[in-house]
Amino acid sequence: MKLFYTYLLYPMLLLPIFCIGQQSKVDSLKSVIALGNQDVEVLKAMNFISFEYVRTDVEKAKFYLWKAKYLGKKLKNDRVLSSTYSQLASINQNQGQIDSTLIYLDNLKGLADKAIGEESDVIKGNYYSTVGLYYKKSGNIKEALPYFIKTYEIAVNRGDLNSASGQAINIGNSYLGLSDFNRALTYYLKALCDFEQTKNKKGQSYCYQNIGECYIELNRYDAALKYINKSMKLKGDMQDKRGVGNAEQSLGRIYMGLENYDTSFKHYSKALTICQELKLSNEEVKIYLNMGKVFSLKNDTDKALFYYEKSKDIAKKMEDNASALTADFEILAIQQNKTKEGISEKNAIENIQSFKETGAISKEAASYKNMATYYTNLKKYDKALEYT
C-alpha cells in the first residue's frame, strides 16, 4: 500500500546565488540578513534561509518567513513575496494548520491574479506549485497533477532547470499515486539527470528517494534498498533531518515487505521521532498508519488498532480525507462485530467511491483487499470474492 511521498516545494525565485555547502550557505545568508538593510537582497536571503531551515528547524524557517512577509509587503515585491506565501502555506499544511494554509493560498492567488509583465510567470508558477501540493497532500491527486504540469512548463520555458526538475519530481509523485509507474520513473529519471547536470545534491537525494519508492511499489525490495541507501547517504551528509526521516519511512516499508517486522518498526520509530521534532503532522499520519500495518502483520490487533486510530485522528484534524478513509479500512479489516457489519459495508463502498473520484488507485485497490480480508475472517467467502 502506497502511503508515503516526498513533496517538493521549489519556489521559483530564479536566483542563482549561494551555490555552496549547506552550512556555508546558511552562514552567508545570515551575514546578508545581519546587514539589516530593508532591500530586496535581504528579502531574498530570508526566503532562501527558510528554504534551508524547513528541513532541519521549522520554527526558524517560520521566523524568517514572517520577517520576509513583512519586508515583502513593505517593498511591494510580489515576486519574492509569492515565494514567502508559498513556503508558509506548505509549512502550515504540514503542521495541520489548515485555516492558516488557506489564508496563505488565498493571498498567493491574489498575487497571481494581478501579476503582469515578466514577473507574472514566476508568481503564477509559485501559485500553481503550492496549490498542487495542497491537493496532493489532501489526497486529491487528480486535482494536483494539472497544477504541477503548468508549473513545470513555466520553469522549462524560462530555462530554470532546478525548478523544472523539482516539478518533474512532483509530477512523478502524482503518477506514482495513480499507480502509473512507468511515467513516474520517467519523470524521476529526467529530474535526476538534470540535478546531476547542475550538481544539485539535494535534488539528487530526492530523486533516489522516489525511485526507491517506485521499486517498493513493484515489490522489488533489493533495488529499492539500493536507492534509499543512496538517498540516506546524501541526506546525512547534508544534515537534512527531514530527508533522513523520509528515508527512514522508506526503510520501514522495505523491511515490512521483507517480513522483517521488528526492523521495520524500528525505522518507523526513528522517522516518527524526527517528524514530531519538526512538527510534521502530515507525516505522522502515514507513520502511524504503517505502524498499525506492522502490528496487523504480526497479528497484534490491539496495537494495530491503537496506531490506526492515531493516524485517523490526526488525518481528520488535517482534513486529509483520503488518509482518514485508509485508516478506516484498516480498522474495518480487523473489526468483526456482526452488528456493525451492514453499516461498515455501506460506508466502505462510499469510501471506495471517494478513492475513485480522487484518483487514489492504490488506496482503492488496498480497500478492496481489506474488504476481502474482512469477509474472509468472517468466513463469508462469497462476499469476499466480490472484492477480490
pLDDT per residue as tens digits for the range 232-251: 999 999 999 999 999 999 99
Helix and strand numbers (H, E) in the chain are 19, 0
Nearest to 252, CA basis, from 239, 268, 237: 268
pLDDT at 14 over 60: no
Containing 376, the helix (H) or strand (E) segment is helix 361-377
Per-residue pLDDT band for 24 (boundaries 50, 70, 90) equals confident
Give the residue, 374 or 127, on which the prediction is more confident: 127
Burial class, 236, CB count within 10 angstroms (exposed 0-12 / middle 13-18 / buried 19+): middle
Q: What does the block give as the cell for 33?
A: 540578513
Q: What residue spans in the chain does CATH classification 1.25.40 cover?
A: 11-138
pLDDT on residue 336? 62
Mean pLDDT taken over the chain:
87
| Cα-Cα-Cα-Cα dihedral sign, residues 349, 358, 188, 242 | negative
pLDDT at 183 over 90: yes
Nearest to 376, CA basis, from 367, 361, 358, 388: 388
85-124 per-position pLDDT tens digit: 999 999 999 998 999 999 999 999 999 999 999 889 999 9
Contacts of 228 (CB under 8 A, 6+ apart): 208, 209, 212, 247, 250, 251, 254
Alpha carbon separation from 174 to 7, 44, 152, 214, 300 (Å, rounded): 10, 30, 13, 12, 33
Distance (Å, rounded) from C-alpha 211 to C-alpha 149? Answer: 19
Beta strands (DSSP E) in 230-273 are none
The helix/strand/coil state of 57 is coil
Alpha carbon separation from 39 to 68, 83, 330 (Å, rounded): 11, 16, 53
pLDDT on residue 326? 87
Distance (Å, rounded) from C-alpha 291 to C-alpha 268? Answer: 7
Topology adopted by domain 11-138: 1.25.40
Query: Mean of the pLDDT values across residues 203-228?
Result: 96
Alpha carbon separation from 287 to 64, 276, 290, 293 (Å, rounded): 29, 11, 5, 10
pLDDT on residue 318? 87
Is 85 within 8 Å of 104 (Cβ atoms)? yes
Residues of the chain with pLDDT > 70, as a percent, come to 80
For the chain, the first-to-last Cα distance in angstroms comes to 16
Q: What does the block give as the cell for 52?
A: 534551508
pLDDT on residue 299? 92
pLDDT on residue 244? 97
Give the residue, 147 or 318, on which the prediction is more confident: 147
Q: Which of 137-146, 183-192, 364-373 has the highest mean pLDDT?
A: 183-192
pLDDT at 6 over 80: no
Query: Mean of the pLDDT values across residues 208-219?
Result: 95
